[in-house]
Amino acid sequence: CFDSRRRQSPRSCQHADLARLAHESRFSVNEVEALYELFKKLSCSIIDDGLIHKEELRLALFQAPYGENLFLDRVFDLFDEKKNGVIEFEEFIHALSVFHPYAPIEEKIDFAFRLYDLRQTGFIEPEEVREMVAAILKESDMILSDELLTMIIDKTFADADSDKDGKISKQEWMAYALKHPTLLKNMTLPYLKDVTTAFPSFIFNTEVED
């Protein structure tokens, strides 16, 4: 990362861009600039092109650039608004803003819905939930009988699918998640409340005063 681009940063992200991104998110200008420090680290960890590739996100989350993970794929797809296979800085800010402790719970619920709606049909279907549970069991080297897995899925849908049409709509998911707030635990990153402290290198780089 110690190239000329690093010395230019964060000036390569102009103040107008920082201000616009702050306006579009729950972050202050200083916080957007601090997150640019994190973005730079992630986006040069494998390919130094100022964009986060899936392998770089995987490396940041798992400390390994290779390996399949269903959830990482879905998270990456949701960050990648333009669907061009990379995460740009403004996409990074937009998505992280949902994880801000002060972001509206409706935004968090919506993000989680899109994450679980694997095939993007507008509904969470039993096959998708089964696929996600099976992926975690495999990831964790746990074994569960098909019968027990079916029981768990059936019980979950009995609770969440209030109109009993065999799939969970966004409205049903909203009601269900509000009733079970622990489901949204991963949708809040406490670090984002004080991001300028989390990235002290920012203090020496910033030229912006909030």
Partner 1 sequence: KFFNAFEFISSMSSGFDLSSMFENK
Binding residues (CB under 8 A) for partner 1: these are: 38, 41-42, 57, 60-63, 69-75, 99, 112, 115-116, 129, 132-133, 135-136, 139-140, 152-153, 155-156, 159-160, 176, 180, 182-186, 189, 191, 198-199
Closest to partner 1 by CB, 24 vs 139, is: 139
Shortest Cβ 197–partner 1 spacing (Å): 11
Residues composing the chain: 210
Nearest CA-CA partner of 129 in 105, 155, 91, 109: 155
Shortest Cβ 129–partner 1 spacing (Å): 5
Shortest Cβ 31–partner 1 spacing (Å): 13
Shortest Cβ 14–partner 1 spacing (Å): 24
Closest to partner 1 by CB, 159 vs 165, is: 159
Alpha carbon 163 to chain centroid, angstroms: 29
Q: What letter represents residue 11's amino acid? A: R
Closest to partner 1 by CB, 21 vs 34, is: 34
Distance CA 185, CA 82 (A): 27
DSSP H helices in the chain? 4-8, 15-24, 29-43, 54-62, 70-79, 89-98, 105-116, 126-139, 146-160, 170-179, 195-198, 201-205
Distance CA 21, CA 15 (A): 10
Closest to partner 1 by CB, 21 vs 118, is: 118
Closest to partner 1 by CB, 122 vs 200, is: 200
Closest to partner 1 by CB, 72 vs 105, is: 72
- Angle formed by the axes of helices 54-62 and 29-43, to 10°? 100
Shortest Cβ 16–partner 1 spacing (Å): 27
Shortest Cβ 154–partner 1 spacing (Å): 10
Alpha carbon 4 to chain centroid, angstroms: 30
DSSP state of 10: T
